């Protein structure tokens, strides 16, 4: 799909593509050769163009950093979505992102400069994490658990055949569907990127630009350009501060628990205080251990997760899932082949067998279990008062 827009003295030709469509590749090639623009824009950033050209995305993966920064759920979700797109691409014989490679190749053949239009992927993911609400994080966690066992709510893409994918950008369509449940995710991954790409097109060099973008961005980009509103790129590159209420909750839970222990000791004696400690420990241990079991963790990891959960639940800077991930990594350390095969994972069993995604699943499930354990313990603790 092609859209032509006039912006001041610049002629903009937007080429909307599907990332696994042979027709999109041909459309990109024909448009650049026919239009002979001053510059060719592509929906990529420096990090992704390097990964696309080198084909070694795994080299950029730092599992420990992902776990520590709380990106486990989002990274798993991104991996699942990417693999869905790749598997569908395999069915039509097209590698995702091929139309961008064609744009770069044809631009080089015509000696046209390349203009990168998209925001740095790391900034995009960090902004998404920071803007996610607690409800959205829980929804992702529950959805991932449901996906592992084939239960729960499924997202309806209304895609009847592989041919449908040639007229739409799968990932952006899926993110818009997810936006109904997670508006902050859609805001960052779709709306903000529409604005960012539109502004990068407006400030591109030359009088004529062919911009190759996902079809899911066409409508948003066209609207923003036609509105002639300036987009503050610097503002969109800032990582927002973490939601204060989430930080408060981390400290509030252990504080309230300590206050409860003091109250029980002062009013009902040490026996009731001991009962409170037992309830807290059992609830957290059982739920965290169940999470580790569902993640198919090593028996030692299951034991360690259970023992760590009552303590980490009271420590705002440490999570039970982190401890479990470190222990699991000792037994099943990720290998180079695990990183290389991440883009080829098929089926739920594949995510369990791959050591990288396996560790992330252990982290996610244990953290989720520990969180559930904390809430399970609350009514029992209140019953002691």
pLDDT tens figures, 106-141: 999 999 999 999 998 878 877 887 787 767 767 766
Residues 13/2, Cβ–Cβ less than 8 Å? yes
Flag residues of the chain having pLDDT under 50.
Answer: 58-60, 88-94, 150-163, 165-169
Tens digits of per-residue pLDDT, 72-81? 656 666 665 5
Delimit the domains of the chain by residue range.
2-236, 244-382
Confidence at residue 241, expressed as pLDDT on a 0 to 100 scale: 73
pLDDT given at position 81: 55
pLDDT of residue 163: 43
User: What is the DSSP secondary-structure string of 315-364?
Assistant: -TT--HHHHHHHHHHHHS---HHHHHTGGG--HHHHHHHSHHHHHHHHHH
Question: Under the phi-then-psi rule, with left for phi > 0, alpha for psi from -120 to 50, and beta for the rest, what region is 41?
Answer: beta
Please say whether the beta carbons of 3 and 14 come within 8 A: yes
- pLDDT for the residue 360: 82
**pLDDT computed for residue 54 by the predictor:** 65
pLDDT score for 59: 44
Query: E strands of the chain, at which residues?
Result: 2-7, 10-17, 39-42, 114-116, 208-214
Cβ count near 264 (within 10 Å): 21
pLDDT, residue 38, reads 95
Would you call 160 exposed, middle or buried from its count of C-beta atoms within 10 A (0-12, 13-18, 19+)? exposed
What pLDDT is recorded for position 217?
85
Q: What is the pLDDT of residue 121?
A: 81
- The CA distance from 274 to 264, in Å, is 9
Residue 190's alpha-carbon distances to 1, 194, 226, 232, in angstroms, are 19, 6, 18, 16
CB 147 within 8 A of CB 190: no
Query: Is-contact 198 226, C-beta < 8 A?
Result: no
* DSSP 8-state code for residue 243: P
pLDDT of 37 reads 95
Which pLDDT belongs to residue 318?
80
Residues pairing with 5 in the sheet: 12
Would you say 380 and 283 are in contact if contact means Cβ atoms under 8 Å apart?
yes
pTM exceeds 0.75 for this model: no
DSSP letters, 137-185, are HHHHHHHHHHHHTT-S--------SGGGGGGS-HHHHHHHHHTTT-HHH
Cα 190 from Cα 130, distance rounded (Å): 16
- Quote the pLDDT of residue 79: 62
Q: What pLDDT, on a 0 to 100 scale, did the predictor assign at position 366?
A: 92
């Amino acid at each position: 799909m092609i859209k032509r827009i006039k912006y001041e003295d610049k002629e903009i030709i937007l080429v909307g593509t599907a990332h696994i469509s042979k027709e999109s590749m041909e459309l990109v090639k024909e448009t650049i050769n026919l239009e002979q623009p001053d510059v060719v824009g592509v929906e990529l950033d420096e990090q992704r163009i390097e990964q696309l050209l080198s084909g070694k995305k795994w080299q950029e993966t730092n599992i420990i950093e992902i776990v520590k920064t709380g990106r486990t759920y989002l990274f798993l979700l991104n991996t699942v979505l990417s693999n869905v797109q790749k598997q569908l691409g395999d069915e039509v014989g097209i590698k995702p992102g091929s139309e961008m490679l064609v744009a770069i190749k044809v631009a080089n053949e015509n000696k046209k400069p390349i203009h990168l239009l998209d925001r740095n992927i790391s900034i995009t993911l960090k902004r998404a994490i920071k803007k996610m609400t607690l409800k959205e994080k829980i929804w992702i966690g529950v959805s991932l658990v449901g996906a592992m066992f084939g239960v729960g709510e499924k997202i309806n893409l209304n895609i009847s055949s592989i041919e449908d994918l040639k007229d739409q950008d799968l990932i952006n369509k899926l993110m818009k569907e997810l936006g109904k449940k997670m508006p902050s995710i859609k805001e960052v991954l779709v709306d903000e990127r529409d604005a960012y790409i539109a502004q990068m097109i407006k400030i591109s060099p030359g009088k004529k630009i062919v911009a190759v973008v996902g079809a899911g961005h066409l409508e948003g980009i066209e609207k923003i350009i036609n509105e002639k509103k300036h987009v503050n790129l610097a503002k969109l590159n800032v990582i927002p501060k973490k939601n204060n209420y989430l930080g408060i909750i981390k400290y509030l839970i252990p504080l309230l628990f300590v206050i409860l222990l003091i109250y029980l000791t002062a009013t009902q004696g040490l026996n009731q205080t001991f009962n409170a400690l037992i309830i807290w420990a059992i609830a957290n241990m059982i739920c965290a251990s169940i999470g580790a079991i569902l993640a198919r963790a090593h028996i030692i990891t299951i034991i360690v997760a259970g023992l760590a959960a009552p303590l980490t639940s009271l420590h705002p800077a440490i999570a039970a899932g982190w401890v479990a991930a470190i222990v699991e990594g000792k037994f099943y350390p990720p290998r180079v082949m695990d990183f290389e095969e991440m883009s080829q994972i098929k089926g739920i069993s594949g995510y369990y067998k791959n050591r990288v995604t396996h560790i992330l699943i252990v982290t996610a499930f244990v953290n989720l279990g520990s969180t559930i354990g904390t809430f399970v313990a609350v009514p029992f603790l209140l019953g002691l008062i």
